[in-house]
Structure 1
Amino acid sequence: MIRFKQVFDFYIRSSIHVALSVYALVRMTHFMFRLPADEPMANFAFLGTIVGYNFVKYDALVRVKKKQMRNELKLIALLSFFSLVGVSYYFFQLQFVTQMVSVAFLVLTLLYTLPFFPNRKNARNWAGVKIYIVSLCWVGVTLALPLVNAHADLGADFYLKCIQRFILIFVLILIFEILDLANDDPHLKTVPQQIGAKRTKALGLLLLLPFYFLEFLKTNFIEKQLIVNLVLVVAISSFLLFANEKRSKYYTSFWVESIPIFWWLMVVFF
């Protein structure tokens, strides 16, 4: 009999959970800019995240150990294949300009995963670069693509929201890097490796200040959003302060990655 833990671990390892976080942020973008729900765009981001994340996580493992693939990895590969079919379907429902921008982010993902340059590692292993590439990709997929697809005006609010969204993802990744401090290759030069866990936490808390107060500068200012964002900042601050190398893998892979979903649900219900 399949145990709940096996199903839950598959849910996490197959990137379904992180894909739901991306889906939630796309829907947040529609809400914040008062756009009609665009399900093809949201589904494209959801399925594309499953394909992209699984490719980044398991590409090398599959290529090196084809004959030793566990059943779970085979199921993840099957899920990724069907997700690829789905993302291809939704890709052709997007506007042409959105398709072009999404291809640019695909190239960035491939650059992040595969070593394109002779005698060079992939971008994932470039010292100090990983956190910026991942944050940029999340901003692009969850904010830029939905607005481009809706032909929305990319005015001042868009750029403020880009900064805000970048800070959000950047701080969440800092939590991951604190927990991975003992296992990360020293050559990666992650933020905690360079300045230590305590200063990384201080940096994250400091960055949450502009994340919150940028809301006041928007032209489509919503008072209730200030309350929602305050709850969000308190939640992220708590996860950041209590992060350490001894925490369970679920601390980040489930709870921290649930924060965008939690943010979206607060907006939906309140």
Structure 2
Amino acid sequence: MKVLKKVFDFYIQSSIHVALSVYSLVQMTCFMFHIPEDKPIANFAFFGTIVGYNFVKYDSFARTNKVQFRTSLKLIILFSALSFLATGFYFFQLQRLTQMVSIGVLSLTLLYTLPFFPNRKNARNWAGVKIYIVSLCWVGVTLVLPIIDSGIAITSDFYLKSIQRFILVFVLILIFEILDLTHDDPHLKTVPQQIGVKRTKNLGYFLLLIFCALELLNSNFNSNITHLLLVIIIAIITSLFLAFANEKRSKYYTSFWAESVPILWWFMVFLF
């Protein structure tokens, strides 16, 4: 059991699980917009997420040497390095415009992590900004990049799906912020810190209602009732995770279960 737990912890800590969530949303974008299977963009998103998330999580440790590198951390660094090479490999298989947009998303990620401006903290520590930057990055990687790389026309459905995707990621991050409420620096001014847990949950429920309502505005709504039902199911599942979120929950509540929502959504598409 100890070995299985170590493997599972490595799976979570090395960001493979969150990368699968991103990969799933890329596949959902291809499904929604009838894009032929695009392995380079999906794999680029998968490996790029591993590199980006691990850079955000472990960069401060590597630069300040505050902790002695454990074996597990060394493995994560090695895995991240290999993922970086894979990201570069798939990057050069993308369309030129896609490459340019992906560099923009990368810049946003670096802004989130590194202090670019003198005497200023990185964007991760800017009051109230974190949740918006992360949500925008997810929309950029999982929706904008696949659409641009496919070369299909940008219609009103693209903007509707962008708002939907932003809302879903935003609400999932709210769950993280509720669990981290007792550990987050008060100066971060996360949503729960500013309006309280109860109002944060009510905000999440309201946003999920908008998430469902936007599906009614899709151009192919009449021919895609099943997908509306799946959207409602995902909204209900996410709202349940939000409802039962509190500071005493295990770290796996968010790092595994809540982050499984996009994977579950993609899986249900295959079932139905």
What is the TM-score normalised by the length of structure 2? 0.98
d(CA) in 2 for partners of 1:106 and 1:200?
A: 29
Q: Give the Cα separation in 2 of the matches to 1:103 and 1:110.
A: 10
User: Is structure 2 residue 265 aligned with structure 1 residue 263?
Assistant: yes
1:7 deviates by: 0.6
The 2-side partners of 1:114 and 1:25 are apart by 27
- The equivalences for 1:1-270 within 5 A come to 3-65=3-65, 68-221=68-221, 222-270=224-272
Counterpart of 2:234 in structure 1: which amino acid? Answer: L
Between 113-122 and 223-232, the greater mean CA deviation after superposition: 223-232
Structure 2 vs 1, CA of residues 4 and 217 (structure 1 numbering), >3 Å: closer, same or farther?
same
How far off is 1:67 after superposition? 7.4
Shift of 1:65: 1.7
Runs of 4+ in 1 over 2 A off after TM superposition: none
Q: Name the SS of the counterpart of 1:68 in structure 2.
A: coil
Deviations 1:90-129 (A, max 9, x none): 0000000000000001111111000000000000000000
Q: Secondary structure at the match of 1:3?
A: helix
Percent same amino acid at aligned positions?
Answer: 68
- Count of residues in correspondence between the two structures: 270
Q: 2:54 aligns to what SS in structure 1? A: helix
Separation of aligned partners in 2, 1:188 and 1:256 = 22
Aligned equivalents of 1:64 and 1:146: distance in 2?
36
C-alpha RMSD of the superposition: 1.1
User: Distance in 1 between the 2:185 and 2:208 partners?
Assistant: 28
- The letter of the residue matching 2:129 is V
Taking the aligned partners of 2:176 and 2:226, their CA distance within structure 1 comes to 30
Shift of the 22–156 alpha-carbon distance from structure 1 to 2, 3 Å rule, reads: same
User: Residue 220 of structure 1: CA displacement?
Assistant: 2.4
1:157-178 deviations in Å (ceiling 9; x for gaps): 0000010000000000000000
CA shift, 1:44, in A, is 0.2
What is the distance in 2 between the residues matched to 1:71 and 1:105? 31
Aligned-partner Cα distance in 2 for 1:70–1:64: 15
Counterpart-to-counterpart distance in 1, 2:270 and 2:120: 46
Residue type of the alignment partner of 2:81 = F
Question: Following the alignment from structure 1 to structure 2, what is the Cα–Cα distance between the partners of residues 261 and 230?
Answer: 15
Alpha-carbon distance between aligned partners in 1 of 2:213 and 2:34, rounded to the nearest angstrom: 21
Gaps of 5+ in 1: none
CA contact (8 A) 2:61 2:67 kept: no
For 1:35 and 1:169, how far apart are their aligned partners in 2?
Answer: 22
Residues 199-208 or 220-229, more deviating? 220-229
- Distance (whole Å) between structure 2 residues aligned to residue 69 and residue 48 of structure 1: 23
Q: Is the 8 A contact 2:15 2:50 kept in 1?
A: yes
Q: What is the SS of the residue equivalent to 2:107?
A: helix
What 5-or-longer segments of structure 2 have no aligned partner? Answer: none
| Cα distance between partner residues in 1 of 2:68 and 2:170 | 35
Amino acid across the alignment from 2:100: M
**Rounded Cα–Cα distance in structure 1 between residues aligned with 2:140 and 2:79:** 24
Instruction: Tell me the distance in 2 between the aligned counterparts of 1:150 and 1:78.
Output: 32
